[in-house]
């Protein structure tokens, strides 16, 4: 190898000269500046000295005046004001310290403090009864946790989470828990455990089933607002409900909606726990859950809110799939088939790899929500459309939803006090229409190899074939 060629950037003689010149100039400038500064300093000092002399003179005269004045009146002399305040003066007012009003702990009371009135319902996760507290006569709802004798994991974690979450929640749209009481057999591990909840007369599902006319749109708005502010509270406190549906929403005789049944709920904090996709009753389950995602967030609850909104308007559950595969095809029928544009990255979800989707123009396979709800205003339709976005990131958060145009438009949300009342069903025998239950742990269903390419067959023909088509926009 020959000697290294000289770099283009290496300094040459000219460079050195140039640098030296620059340095010199700089020094010159600095010297001038320093000189100027010095002069100014001198001037200032002189002025200050003059001022001081003058001040002392006036001070002296002032002093004399003060002394004269002090003798005639009780005015304190000015000089006293100049001395610093004594340091112990500042600490004398006691600082007001923040004190939390917290309780203590004591053993749970016995269920004998309550008298059962009648059963309300027997659900997947427990049994609920109406009862009165003997001491006060208050009516409450008692919910018994379902315990399995000999469960190798002890008390069910879902039940413990429900207790933990309800204990921490205080919001007018979330059902309140008063205490936890236990059966009398305290030595046994499978001693029964009851949650004492506030009693609310109705659940939204049975009202919807029995009402002759659907809710007015002002009523729908009020119900949705209450639901959303409850959900916003939960999400703000890092709680995912994971089983929002009309049968878990309670409505009091005063039109107050309360979110209930936290058997599926959990805290999602830091570190982010591993979440199961086996949550949310099938009809209200978000597409990302159906496609088997393991990292979902508050948007799954917002999908359920969208389903509930549709149900409040039509009185019918929006998407009644008979199983996971049927459910997702119903979702795609309503909301359109996902594409890489409408839902970036959905192909990477576990159950999406084997999906065969119809290859159609996005126009023909878009959302038909607008057409399904012809009576909804444009704002209402845009809200429902955004809640039922396939892409979870496109759904609004509960907080954003509260600000939506839809709630500000006429008709305005009806005040709760003006809500119609309904005959209370709690306690009466009533027929229940079939509805799938909340999922049970450990029965995950892989969608497998499913062919959805047929679900839109004929749809494109409808739109293009006839001379005209009635479109409700």
Partner 1 sequence: MSLLANPLATPSQLYRRASSLTLPRDLDEAVLVATQCLTQAAGRLLQLPQSATAQANVLLARYWLTESPMAHEFSDVSAATLYLVSKLGPLPRSPRDVSNVYAYLSSANSALFPTGELPKDDPRAYYQTEADYYAFQQRMLGLEARILQSLSFDTHVSLPHPLAITYLQTLDFLSQSRTTVSLRTIQYLNTALLSPQMLYVTHQPNALATAAIYNAARDLGAKMPEHEWWEVFDVDREELGFLVVAMRSVEGWMQKLRDDFPSFGSKMLKRSMVEDELHRRGLHVGNGDNAPRDEEAEVMRMMDSR
Residues that bind partner 1 (CB under 8 A): 91, 95, 97-100, 102-108, 152-155, 157, 160-161, 163-164, 167-168, 179-180, 182, 186-191, 193, 269, 271-274
Judged by beta carbon, residue 67 or residue 191, the one nearer partner 1 is 191
Residue 377 · residue 385 · CB < 8 Å: no
Report the alpha-carbon distance of residue 424 to residue 260 in Å, rounded. Answer: 17
Q: Which of 203, 243, 261, 301 is catalytic?
A: 243
Closest CA to 392 of 320, 289, 312, 309: 289
Judged by beta carbon, residue 109 or residue 425, the one nearer partner 1 is 109
Length, in residues, of the chain:
473
Write down the least CB distance from residue 262 to partner 1, Å: 14
Closest CA to 351 of 285, 294, 412, 408: 294
189 membership: H or E segment, kind and range: none
Write down the least CB distance from residue 270 to partner 1, Å: 8
Bond preceding residue 271 cis, omega within 30 of 0: yes
What are the C-alpha distances in Å from 309 to residues 140, 201, 401, 442?
A: 29, 21, 12, 30
Judged by beta carbon, residue 154 or residue 420, the one nearer partner 1 is 154
Judged by beta carbon, residue 180 or residue 220, the one nearer partner 1 is 180
Judged by beta carbon, residue 269 or residue 411, the one nearer partner 1 is 269
Write down the least CB distance from residue 232 to partner 1, Å: 17
Write down the least CB distance from residue 193 to partner 1, Å: 8
Residue 219 · residue 204 · CB < 8 Å: no
Judged by beta carbon, residue 81 or residue 274, the one nearer partner 1 is 274
| Buried/exposed 186-209: b ≥16 CB within 10 Å, e otherwise | eeeeeebbbbbbbbbbbbbbbbbb
Write down the least CB distance from residue 366 to partner 1, Å: 39
Report the alpha-carbon distance of residue 199 to residue 251 in Å, rounded. Answer: 10
What are the C-alpha distances in Å from 193 to residues 200, 274, 468?
A: 21, 27, 64
DSSP-derived secondary structure letter, 404 = -
> Is 243 known to be catalytic?
yes
Write down the least CB distance from residue 167 to partner 1, Å: 6
Residue 301 · residue 309 · CB < 8 Å: no
Beta-carbon contacts of residue 422 (< 8 Å; ≥ 6 apart): 201, 202, 207, 210, 211, 251, 253
Write down the least CB distance from residue 105 to partner 1, Å: 5
Judged by beta carbon, residue 168 or residue 375, the one nearer partner 1 is 168
Report the alpha-carbon distance of residue 399 to residue 235 in Å, rounded. Answer: 9
Q: Which residues are catalytic?
A: 243
């Amino acid at each position: 190898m020959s000697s290294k060629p000289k770099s283009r950037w290496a300094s040459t003689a000219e460079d050195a000269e140039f640098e030296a010149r620059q340095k010199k100039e700089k020094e010159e400038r600095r010297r001038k500046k320093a000189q100027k500064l010095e002069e100014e300093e001198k001037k200032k000092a002189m002025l200050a000295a003059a001022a001081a002399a003058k001040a002392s003179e006036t001070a002296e005269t002032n002093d004399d005046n003060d002394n004269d004045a002090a003798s005639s009146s009780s005015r304190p002399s000015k000089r006293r004001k100049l001395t610093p305040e004594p340091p112990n003066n500042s600490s004398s007012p006691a600082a007001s310290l923040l004190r939390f009003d917290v309780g203590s702990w004591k053993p749970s009371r016995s269920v004998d403090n309550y008298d059962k009135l009648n059963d309300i319902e027997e659900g997947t996760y427990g049994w609920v009864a109406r009862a009165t507290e003997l001491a006060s006569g208050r009516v409450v709802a008692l919910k018994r946790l379902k315990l399995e004798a000999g469960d190798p994991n002890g008390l069910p974690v879902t039940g413990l989470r429900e207790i933990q979450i309800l204990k921490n929640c205080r919001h007018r749209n979330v059902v309140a828990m008063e205490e936890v009481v236990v059966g009398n057999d305290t030595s046994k591990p499978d001693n029964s455990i009851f949650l004492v909840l506030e009693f609310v007369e109705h659940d939204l599902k049975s009202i919807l089933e029995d009402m002759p006319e659907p809710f007015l749109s002002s009523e729908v708005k009020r119900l949705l607002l209450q639901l959303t502010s409850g959900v916003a509270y939960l999400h703000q406190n890092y709680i995912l409900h994971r089983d929002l549906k009309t049968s878990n929403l309670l409505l009091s005789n005063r039109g107050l909606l309360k979110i209930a049944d936290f058997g599926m709920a959990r805290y999602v904090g830091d570190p982010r726990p591993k979440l199961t996709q086996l949550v949310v009753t099938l009809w209200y389950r978000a597409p990302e859950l159906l496609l088997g995602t393991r990292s979902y967030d508050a948007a799954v609850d917002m999908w359920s809110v969208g389903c509930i909104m549709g149900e409040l308007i039509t009185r019918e559950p929006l998407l009644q799939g008979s199983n996971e595969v049927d459910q997702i095809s119903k979702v795609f029928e309503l909301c359109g088939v996902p594409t890489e544009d409408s839902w970036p990255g959905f192909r990477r979800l576990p159950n999406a790899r084997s999906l065969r989707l119809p290859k159609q123009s996005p126009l023909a396979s878009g959302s038909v929500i607008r057409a399904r709800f012809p009576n909804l205003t444009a704002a209402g339709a845009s809200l429902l459309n955004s809640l039922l976005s396939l892409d979870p990131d496109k759904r609004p958060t509960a907080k954003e939803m509260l600000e939506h145009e839809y709630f500000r438009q006429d008709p305005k949300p009806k005040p709760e006090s003006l809500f119609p009342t309904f005959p209370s069903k709690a306690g009466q025998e009533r027929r229940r229409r079939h509805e799938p239950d909340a999922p049970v742990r450990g029965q995950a269903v892989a969608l497998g190899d499913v062919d959805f390419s047929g679900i839109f067959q004929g749809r494109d023909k409808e739109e293009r074939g006839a001379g005209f088509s009635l479109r409700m926009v």
